[in-house]
Amino acid sequence: VNADLSPEKAAAHAAEHWSKVTTTGSVRGRWWQVPAVVRHINERVCGEPLNGLSAGARQWVVDTIPGLPLDRGIAIGGGNGVKEMELITAGIVRSVEVFEVAPARVAQGKDVATERGLADRVTFHERLLDPGEDIGRYDLVHWNNALHHMLDVDEWLAWSRRVLNPGGVLLLDDFVGATRFQWPRRQLDYASSFRRTLPDALLVDHRYPDRLLPREIVRPTITQMLASDPTEAADSGRILASLQRHFPEAEVRETGGVMYHLALSDSVANFESGVHDALLEVALLLDDALSDLGETHYAVALARLPDAAHRKARDLDRPPEPNPGVEQGARVLGQRTRARGLRLWRRARQRVLGIVTTIRSRN
């Protein structure tokens, strides 16, 4: 994977791209700008529809990990480090080191840390880290929408285990969907079948208001992906399998995305609060169903290394073997959640058709 891309070249391009995003602001119509979607995701992760990006992941850590705060944390691709600052304020970790290649993001992060009185607890490193470099040991490794920007995710998950102290914690909240956004046919069909039901008013392209967004969702080409950011979803399709390899003790909570990331992409900018709430709610129900069917774009994972097992793993320089009992349990559970997913999907799609018919008759 990505054999022709050097990490240095990719990171230089990413630095330019992400500095531009920071200074010009991101486009409208993205799921993370929609509070109802963020609450939905948080509820899937921790059981409560909390406000704020990654609030569910933080709550999960607080509910699960004993003896907080952890001492030293590290994040690669931490952007402006705000999510790491939130880990500090939530009492999860005392201090964090953030590695980030985009200068504008680091500059912004330093200002925010100062404003929040956290400048002595967040250290920014504006450079590319080599996974072979000895940087010491940490108690928390935090990946937030950044592991999917690494060219070789397996190498970075192996690194994550290596740099953790015994009893250390891995918290990952990331895009785990198709590499280079090469969506599987199934996901394109699910997303397009929802999109086809939407009335024109919800498909107005906010960048060109006289045009409609396409009803058929298609894959971007690899050339388009490489031109915009060569680190985007560079190896994301391998994250869940590599996680299982290096952190067999990790618990994974799939947070979906086929609906809110694919089907509603750009269109969601047209949804008005109080007017289209029911439609959004059903789209999110469908999203749940698809996650249960194993179609997810995002996931949150939490792992705590047991002291002895971790030492043994490090001595042998390989992670512990997966427990076959756990795998068998997961398979049975997988079959059950898939059956639930299918039932949910059929019920929710019927409701979408009903709601859309009502919207159409009102217009």
Ligand X SMILES: C[S@@+](CC[C@H](N)C(=O)[O-])C[C@H]1O[C@@H](n2cnc3c(N)ncnc32)[C@H](O)[C@@H]1O
Q: Is 14 an interacting residue with respect to ligand X (CB under 6 A)?
A: yes
What are the residues whose beta carbons fall under 8 Å from the beta carbon of 40, sequence distance 6 or more? 49, 260, 284, 287
Q: Is 164 an interacting residue with respect to ligand X (CB under 6 A)?
A: no
Least distance from C-beta 19 to ligand X, angstroms?
Answer: 8
Q: Is 286 an interacting residue with respect to ligand X (CB under 6 A)?
A: no
Taking CB under 6 A as the rule, which mask of x and - marks residues 314-343 in contact with ligand X?
------------------------------
Which amino acid would we find at residue 137? R
Least distance from C-beta 64 to ligand X, angstroms?
Answer: 21
User: Which segment (40-48, 70-78, 181-189, 306-314) binds ligand X by CB under 6 A?
Assistant: 70-78
| DSSP reduced 3-state for 164 | strand
Q: Is 15 an interacting residue with respect to ligand X (CB under 6 A)?
A: yes
Task: State how far Cα 332 lies from the chain centre.
Answer: 26
Which amino acid would we find at residue 31? W
The secondary structure element, H or E, covering residue 212 is none
Site residues for ligand X, window 101-160 (CB under 6 A)? 101-102, 105, 128, 144-146, 149
Instruction: Give CA angle at 284 (281, 285), nearest 5°.
Output: 90
Least distance from C-beta 154 to ligand X, angstroms?
Answer: 15
Q: Is 50 an interacting residue with respect to ligand X (CB under 6 A)?
A: no
The residue among 77 and 319 lying less far from ligand X, judged by its C-beta, is 77
The answer to whether 285 and 216 have CB atoms below 8 angstroms apart is: no
The residue among 68 and 128 lying less far from ligand X, judged by its C-beta, is 128
The answer to whether 359 and 304 have CB atoms below 8 angstroms apart is: no
The answer to whether 5 and 151 have CB atoms below 8 angstroms apart is: yes
Q: Is 231 an interacting residue with respect to ligand X (CB under 6 A)?
A: yes
Instruction: Identify the residue among 86, 100, 235, 292 touching ligand X (CB under 6 A).
Output: 100
Q: Is 237 an interacting residue with respect to ligand X (CB under 6 A)?
A: no
The answer to whether 255 and 299 have CB atoms below 8 angstroms apart is: yes
The residue among 74 and 313 lying less far from ligand X, judged by its C-beta, is 74
The secondary structure element, H or E, covering residue 253 is strand 251-256
The residue among 100 and 292 lying less far from ligand X, judged by its C-beta, is 100
Q: Is 97 an interacting residue with respect to ligand X (CB under 6 A)?
A: no
Least distance from C-beta 102 to ligand X, angstroms?
Answer: 4
| DSSP reduced 3-state for 139 | strand
Q: Is 83 an interacting residue with respect to ligand X (CB under 6 A)?
A: yes
Q: Is 79 an interacting residue with respect to ligand X (CB under 6 A)?
A: yes
Tell me how far apart the alpha carbons of residues 164 and 183 are, in angstroms, rounded to a whole number: 33
User: Which segment (60-68, 96-104, 283-291, 304-312) binds ligand X by CB under 6 A?
Assistant: 96-104
Q: DSSP string of 276-298?
A: SHHHHHHHHHHHHHHHHTT--SE
| DSSP reduced 3-state for 182 | coil
Give residues in contact with ligand X (CB under 6 A): 11, 14-15, 18, 76-79, 83, 99-102, 105, 128, 144-146, 149, 231
